[in-house]
Structures are given as structure tokens and as C-alpha cells.
């Protein structure tokens, strides 16, 4: 494919003799932008997933820039549906690749701004060169191993199936309400089939058939949920997940919450201090301080959404089941008597402190001050 010239970039931020390449990943095609900093960017388009074409584009870009075929290549792409397989493949080819958080990339703040794959590719390429020149221009994601990545599938599938179960139940309830039929039993429960048989004459035949098919899909989803939960219980009983078992020893934390926190964060991430823990979970404050304006915008929400949601749920349980802990006493002193809104604000602050306490517990064995273990724990 032909290449196009652009205005050369600033040479002060370039390491001579190295090639920089950015990826814009799409469903059907990928847009590659490459340059050594001394020449204008070369732009290529390849079929999505065509790794041989990617290597050919890199070879052509080196030849165009007059680089040695063995020079090092730096590349980057935004995290998305392609996950980590491309990063691992690029690394195996000797390419220094980065997977960056798309939300951390700076953008033009005009109300209307041009956005195309070509502009995005040029932007990524320019920021990649700035990053390797020493600037902090974006957030680079940490790569999990294939085993660690696969270990997250169980609870994520369970979350999707739980949402699907709720959707089927709500759909059936909405269909019945079209004829003022309101079930007094749990939809899809043990008495559901008998209730449907007794109220079949209150619903038109075609609608009755639709409800039966919806009920069959609901039954399949519930069966799959039971299978996954049984498999998880069996693995825990066999002692295959020591960190999950250790975290579940604390009162107020069950196997489900411990599983999510370990598989999403604590099982494979390594932190140097408490700020890194809070930053990974998006539980850090975002102040707005400009001129005379000083506004607290709340937490950043830039981290792991699943773990953050679970920590907020566990924080409420912690207040109820760990009343003697210092964390609970701190919350009661600061927020308990200040109304519903302040309690909601305080529970997020408690979730941050709880995350740090759990990290120290798993990392160093420090039981949170005043907290108690479950009665059956050794």
C-alpha cells in the first residue's frame, strides 16, 4: 500500500535508529502508523489478525526510513476487545509493545474535533515517542499471564449469567402483566411449573408459548450458574486457591467476594504502597483546584470496576459484621450520624481503607486492627 508523507515530528524527543509503530485495531482492518521520527509517518492498512502483514509493514517502514533491518521496534495499541494476544505475539517477535488505557490518552477539548483512524494513529505515534523520551503521557496496563487471565473467567461468566437470569425473569413478569396476571411465586422457582399450569387459561396461547420458551432459557441459565458455582466450591474445598481461603477467613468476607478480589487484583498484582492499591481500584480523589475554584470531584473510577464494586459491597457488610474493628469505629465517628448522603460518601472512603487493610493482610499477614476471624478458622 502506498505511503503518505506528513510534517516531520520534533527530533529532540527521538531516539535515532529505532522505529515507532502504533496500531488502530478494528473488527475488519488494522491501521498501522510507523516512523523513526526523522521521516514522516508511513501508514498501512492490513486485515485484522494478519500477523504476517504486520511484519511486512514493519519491514517496509524500516526500508523507507533507511533503518537497519535489526533495529528495535517500539509499538503500542489501546486496550480493547483484542485483549492481550497481540501484545504477547509482538513481544515474542522482539517488539517492545505497550498496551495503554484508552481513557488516559489526552484529547482535544474543543466541542467539535475531528476524529479519524488516521488522526488517532498519528496521535498514538506521537505519544509513544514522547513516552519513550521520558514523559508521563498515559497509563500503561500491566500484563497478566495467560493463566492469570484465564482464572478470571469463572466469576465474570457468573456475573453475565446472573444478569441474564434477571433479564429473563423481568421479561416473563412483563409479559404476564400485559393481562394483569401477577405471579405470587418465584419465577423459575420450584413452584413455577405448577403455577403456570394453573394459570394457563388466563393468557392467550401464543403468549403462553412465548413465556414457556422464555422459561426454558431461564432454566438453562440457572443450570449453568449452578454448575459454575459447584465447580468453584469444589476447587476451594480442594485447597487450590490459598489466597481466596485466607481472605475468606475474615468475618464479613465470603468465598464469592474473596474470589473476585483475588482473581481481579490481589492474586497477581504487586503493589509498592497503599497509594498504588487505591489507584489500581479507582478509589483515589480527583480534586479540581484552579484559581479560586477548589472542588472535590469524587473518586477517579479509573481502576478495576469489578473489584471496586465488590469492595463497596464488602464495606457495608464490614460495618455490620465487624463492629469492633477500628475501620468500623472510624466510619461511625466520621459519617454514621451525618445523614444518608454522607454515609454513601463515607462508605467509599471505608472501601478504600478496607482495600489497603486487605492488601496488608494478604501480603504481610496483618489482620486488620480489631477485626475477628470466623469461628471455624484456625
**What are phi and psi for residue 147, nearest 5 degrees?**
-70, -40
Output the nine-digit C-alpha cell for 11.
527530533
pLDDT of residue 17: 81
Q: What is the pLDDT of residues 266-311, one digit of tens each?
A: 999 999 999 999 999 999 888 888 888 888 888 888 889 999 999 9
Helix, strand, or coil (residue 21): strand
The pTM (predicted TM-score) of the whole model is 0.84
pLDDT of residue 111: 76
pLDDT of residue 107: 82
pLDDT of residue 1: 42
**What are phi and psi for residue 251, nearest 5 degrees?**
-65, 140
The percent of residues above 90 in pLDDT, for the chain, comes to: 79
Residue 68 to residue 17: CA distance in whole angstroms: 8
pLDDT of residue 293: 83
User: Is it the case that residue 15 has pLDDT exceeding 60?
Assistant: no
Closest CA to 41 of 116, 130, 122, 128: 122
Q: Is residue 5 very low, low, confident or very high in pLDDT (cuts 50, 70, 90)? A: very low
User: Is it the case that residue 315 has pLDDT exceeding 90?
Assistant: yes
Answer yes or no: are the C-beta atoms of 172 and 211 closer than 8 Å.
Answer: yes
Answer yes or no: are the C-beta atoms of 40 and 126 closer than 8 Å.
Answer: no
Residue 275 to residue 296: CA distance in whole angstroms: 18
Helix, strand, or coil (residue 94): coil
Q: What is the pLDDT of residues 81-117, one digit of tens each?
A: 999 999 999 999 999 999 999 988 888 878 788 888 8
User: Which DSSP state fits 139?
Assistant: P
pLDDT of residue 302: 86
Output the nine-digit C-alpha cell for 156.
465474570
Q: What is the pLDDT of residues 344-367, one digit of tens each?
A: 999 999 999 999 999 999 999 999
pLDDT of residue 376: 54
Amino acid at each position: 500500500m502506498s505511503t503518505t508523507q506528513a510534517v516531520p515530528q520534533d527530533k529532540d524527543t527521538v531516539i535515532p535508529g529505532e522505529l515507532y509503530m502504533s496500531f488502530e485495531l478494528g473488527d475488519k482492518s488494522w491501521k498501522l502508523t510507523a516512523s523513526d521520527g526523522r521521516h514522516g509517518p508511513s501508514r498501512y492498512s492490513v486485515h485484522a489478525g494478519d500477523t504476517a502483514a504486520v511484519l511486512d509493514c514493519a519491514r517496509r517502514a524500516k526500508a523507507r526510513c533507511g533503518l537497519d533491518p535489526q533495529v528495535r521496534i517500539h509499538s503500542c495499541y489501546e486496550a480493547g476487545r483484542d485483549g492481550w494476544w497481540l501484545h504477547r505475539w509482538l513481544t515474542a517477535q522482539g517488539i517492545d509493545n505497550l498496551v495503554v488505557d484508552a481513557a488516559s490518552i489526552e484529547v482535544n477539548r474543543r466541542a467539535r474535533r475531528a476524529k479519524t483512524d488516521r488522526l488517532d494513529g498519528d496521535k498514538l505515534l506521537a505519544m509513544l515517542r514522547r513516552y519513550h523520551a521520558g514523559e508521563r503521557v498515559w497509563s500503561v496496563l500491566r500484563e497478566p499471564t495467560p493463566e492469570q487471565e484465564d482464572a478470571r473467567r469463572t466469576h465474570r461468566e457468573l456475573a453475565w449469567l446472573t444478569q441474564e437470569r434477571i433479564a429473563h425473569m423481568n421479561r416473563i413478569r412483563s409479559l404476564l402483566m400485559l393481562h394483569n396476571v401477577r405471579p405470587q411465586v418465584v419465577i423459575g422457582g420450584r413452584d413455577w411449573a405448577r403455577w403456570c399450569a394453573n394459570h394457563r387459561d388466563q393468557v392467550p396461547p401464543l403468549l403462553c408459548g412465548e413465556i414457556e420458551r422464555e422459561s426454558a432459557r431461564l432454566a438453562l441459565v440457572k443450570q449453568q450458574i449452578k454448575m459454575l458455582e459447584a465447580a468453584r466450591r469444589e476447587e476451594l474445598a480442594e485447597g487450590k486457591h490459598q489466597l481466596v481461603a485466607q481472605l475468606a477467613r475474615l468475618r464479613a468476607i465470603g468465598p464469592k467476594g474473596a474470589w473476585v478480589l483475588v482473581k481481579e487484583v490481589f492474586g497477581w498484582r504487586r503493589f509498592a504502597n497503599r497509594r498504588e492499591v487505591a489507584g489500581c481500584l479507582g478509589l483515589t480523589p480527583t480534586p479540581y483546584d484552579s484559581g479560586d475554584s477548589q472542588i472535590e470531584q469524587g473518586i477517579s473510577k479509573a481502576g478495576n470496576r469489578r473489584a471496586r464494586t465488590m469492595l463497596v459491597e464488602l464495606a457495608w457488610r464490614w460495618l455490620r459484621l465487624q463492629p469492633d474493628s477500628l475501620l468500623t469505629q472510624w466510619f461511625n465517628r466520621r459519617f454514621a450520624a451525618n445523614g444518608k448522603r454522607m454515609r454513601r460518601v463515607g462508605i467509599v472512603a471505608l472501601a478504600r481503607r478496607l482495600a489497603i487493610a486487605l492488601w496488608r493482610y494478604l501480603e504481610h499477614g496483618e489482620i486488620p486492627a480489631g477485626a475477628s476471624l470466623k469461628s471455624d478458622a484456625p
